[in-house]
Structure 1
Amino acid sequence: MDLNADLGEGFGTWTLTDDDALLAVVTSANVACGFHAGDASVMRRVCDAAAAGGVRIGAQVSYRDLAGFGRRAMDVPAAELAAEIAYQIGALRVFAEAAGSTVSYVKPHGALYNRTVRDDEQAAAVIEGIRLAGGSPAVLGLPGSRLLAHAASARLVPVEEAFADRAYTPEGTLVPRGEAGAVVHDPDEVVRRSVGMAVERTVTGADGSRVPVVARSLCVHGDTPGAADLARRVRAALEEAGVTIRAFT
């Protein structure tokens, strides 16, 4: 199982994620590319640290929404969205390659991630942006999403992802953040759910049902209070359960 976390979510003098501590735990780093968080200095610093630690670098692309942290619903024309996706990947690639690494994968953030689960046009635009940026990065997304379907059609490697600290609907999608119980705050429960998804390939849904979850990567959110300690606990529990932790790329 791959462990990924959202990193580089600072901007100027404002910081959010404990990048160095998380990079010591995860195998893949979803680096904010400046549209929902992050800036040139932050991207450069995180890429340098990730490359030095052997952590894979991924572009976490978003709607252009710094004020809303990329979590507000937006209607962006497909051609414009594709260009903005390519722009973000290109910006991160400069710093990844300068650090001796590369952008191994792309993962949408926030509202864009959720939109591409069901929206064919927006999902296709994200994939078009990835192709426009060049290379053949993998695409990280929710199992069964339109995003991963379009990635496969474009001959990009689709990688299914699960979430350690998010509640699931009976259909296997994420409970919207605006709803009660969308985020699991109990560290012990987060650890239990992580092991269950990795070993048993199921998770308890918000309605109490057992929801199938088949994933190659597990996300531990970097903006959660105590995220680094929680990530360490998740990794230790997975390894104790016999799960090998390694990057999917």
Structure 2
Amino acid sequence: MSGPIATAGRPGPVTTVDLNSDLGEGFGRWSLGDDEALLSVVTSANVACGFHAGDPTIMRRTCATASALGVAIGAQVSYRDLAGFGRRFIDVPPETLTDEIVYQIGALDAFARLAGTRVSYVKPHGALYNAIVHHEEQAAAVVAAVRAYDPTLPVLGLPGSQWLRLAREAGLTVVPECFADRAYTPQGTLVPRGEPGAVLDDPGEVAERCLRMARGEPITAIDGTPLTVTAASICVHGDTPGAVAMARRVRAALAAGGVEVAPFIGNRAP
């Protein structure tokens, strides 16, 4: 690793933060979450691109709604893993992974253009997101895909990850993010979903944690130690139970605490 994932100590307070959520994650007749309600709360939408979830109709509909509400559209790219919802590591050759990421960004961008906007950023999903925290070869492959498609696209990721380090070195704009509803290890990585306490479902606890993170104040890691996570965007997962109520509670807590919620990048013209 190039440095610590999270920092101890207390950075300056954040006055503006982005609120993002994973959306468009249904497939065919199967639906997941309330996308329309979440799009009325969040400022950035990580839209599934068909590899872990999503299909052309869902992608078109999600982009159209996001554009109408002024929500920035991000390509939520993943491994080709519909059966596993993109949450299984796949040892994809780097060249293949680069091509598959380009394919996904391009597919979503087509529907964003039909909605009068463009894909505004890229965020890996699930196992790919976690793998490229440490997996330098795959991180480089995703960086290569974004540079090839559009080097002006910002990228979201975990602070201190190989992904953001390589993206920054390649000249991409990096946006560190934190997670509203996920527990952290003392090192600042996400606790694996299969472990107890990995997913937080108490809206009050989640909202209070988000306000602390936005202010640069420490939260509590899974082992009880203090951890400070510095980020410009907060993610509320769309498939978390009660996601809409949780997102609303988080946004209200941020507003009450003097933190403005706004996208880190606006919708782009096609």
Normalization by structure 2: what TM-score? 0.91
Task: Name the SS of the counterpart of 2:21 in structure 1.
Answer: strand
1:2 to 2:14 alignment: no
Task: Name the SS of the counterpart of 2:255 in structure 1.
Answer: helix
Which residue of the partner structure matches residue 101 of structure 2? Answer: 85
Cα distance, 1:132 vs structure 2: 2.2
> Which structure ranks higher in relative contact order (CA pairs < 8 Å, sequence separation ≥ 6)?
2
* Pairing 1:111-150 to 2, within 5 Å after superposition: 111-150=127-166
Task: Name the SS of the counterpart of 1:31 in structure 2.
Answer: strand
- Percent identity, aligned pairs only, is 63
* Pairing 1:42-61 to 2, within 5 Å after superposition: 42-61=58-77
Aligned mates of 1:21, 1:55 — CA distance in 2: 12
Aligned Cα RMSD in Å? 0.8
1:196 to 2:206 alignment: no
Cα distance, 1:187 vs structure 2: 1.7
Amino acid at match of 2:174: P
Which residue of the partner structure matches residue 74 of structure 1? Answer: 90
Which residue of the partner structure matches residue 163 of structure 1? Answer: 179
Cα distance, 1:135 vs structure 2: 4.6
- How many equivalent residue pairs? 249
Please list every run of 5 or more consecutive structure 2 residues that lacks an aligned counterpart in the other structure. Answer: 1-16, 266-270
Report which stretch shifted further, 39-48 or 194-203.
Answer: 194-203
Amino acid at match of 2:37: A
Amino acid at match of 1:220: V
Amino acid at match of 1:81: L
Compared CA separation, residues 101 and 135, structure 1 to 2 (3 A):
farther
Say if 1:87 and 1:133, in contact at 8 Å, map to a contact too: no
Say if 2:151 and 2:172, in contact at 8 Å, map to a contact too: no
Which residue of the partner structure matches residue 54 of structure 2? Answer: 38
Say if 1:201 and 1:214, in contact at 8 Å, map to a contact too: no
